[in-house]
Amino acid sequence: MMTESQRKAIRVDLQLIADMIEPGSRVLDVGCEDGTLLDYLVNFKQVDGRGIELSTEGVNACVSAGLPVIQGDADADLATYPDGAFDYVVLSQTLQAMVAPRTVVEHLVRIGKRAIVSFPNFGHWRARTHLALTGRMPMSDALPYQWYDTPNIHLCTIKDFLVMCRETEITIERSISLNERGNARRINSGPLLANVFGVQAVFVLRR
């Protein structure tokens, strides 16, 4: 069982997502890794939770902890889920690793009554200045990979994401950016600033 100290230990963006989810709801966590968020939601929000994870280690960690997780690939497997099967579908820090992120997001809002998507903001000022001043692909704590071995094949900025939502006619219910200190602010109160100072963003979407 989780202790109170573990409860406080989950990542700030995961906590933000967890706080958005109604207790007792049905949740699908896409790219659930070792099940940290799922475990939190099952234990503290009594959700009926499921997960999809690509890595063997992640799947084995989840299933052996009693979490219902399937080994699968979001790019391929989301199509097998029916419309409106979940109250929330979560995609945290995984969008940028998808082969077809736009299709994936469209599946999220199809499968879930709401989708919660978080991603690293490539428009952050450090990324901008890194590229401008060094002339090399940005690397940071959030994006620690060299260009040739990164799993993050579809990086985007907050503005890019806003544009994609408009193009696909997906409704943004809430949008929050987190700065370097983990402080949250509403993106629509100043999208330009959010796109410069937000390290990552969390969006609540619906069809």
Cα angle 158, 71, 35; round to 5: 60
Which of 11, 20, 77, 103 is in the footprint of another protein by CB under 8 A? 77
Q: Measuring CA to CA, how many Å separate 10 from each of 14, 56, 112?
A: 6, 22, 24
Using alpha carbons, select from 173, 151, 152, 170 the residue that is nearest to residue 161.
Answer: 170
Looking at 20, 70, 137, 184, which residue binds another protein (CB under 8 A)? 70
β-bridge mates for residue 107, sequence order: none
Write the interaction track for another protein spanning residues 34-53; mark x where CB under 8 A is met and - where it is not. Answer: --------------x-x---
Q: How far apart are CA 191 and CA 54, in angstroms?
A: 33
Q: Name the minimum Å distance from CB 92 to another protein.
A: 20
Regarding 107 and contact with another protein (CB under 8 A), the answer is no
Q: Which of 34, 31, 40, 29 is nearest to 61 (CA)?
A: 34
State which of residues 31, 38, 40, 81 lies at the interface with another protein (CB under 8 A). Answer: 81
CB nearer to another protein: give 70 or 184.
70
Considering the complex, what minimum distance in angstroms separates the CB of residue 140 from another protein?
33
**How many binding residues for another protein (CB under 8 A)?**
23
DSSP code for 22 = P
> Near another protein by CB under 8 A, which window of 68-76, 152-160, 182-190, 194-202?
68-76
Helix (H, G, I), strand (E, B) or coil at 49: strand
Residue of 55, 80, 188, 189 interacting with another protein (CB under 8 A): 80
Give every CB contact of residue 101 below 8 A, 6+ residues apart in sequence. 95, 154, 156
Among 17, 34, 86, 104, binds another protein (CB under 8 A): 86
* Interface ranges with another protein (CB under 8 A): 26, 48, 50, 56, 59-60, 62-72, 77, 80-82, 85-86
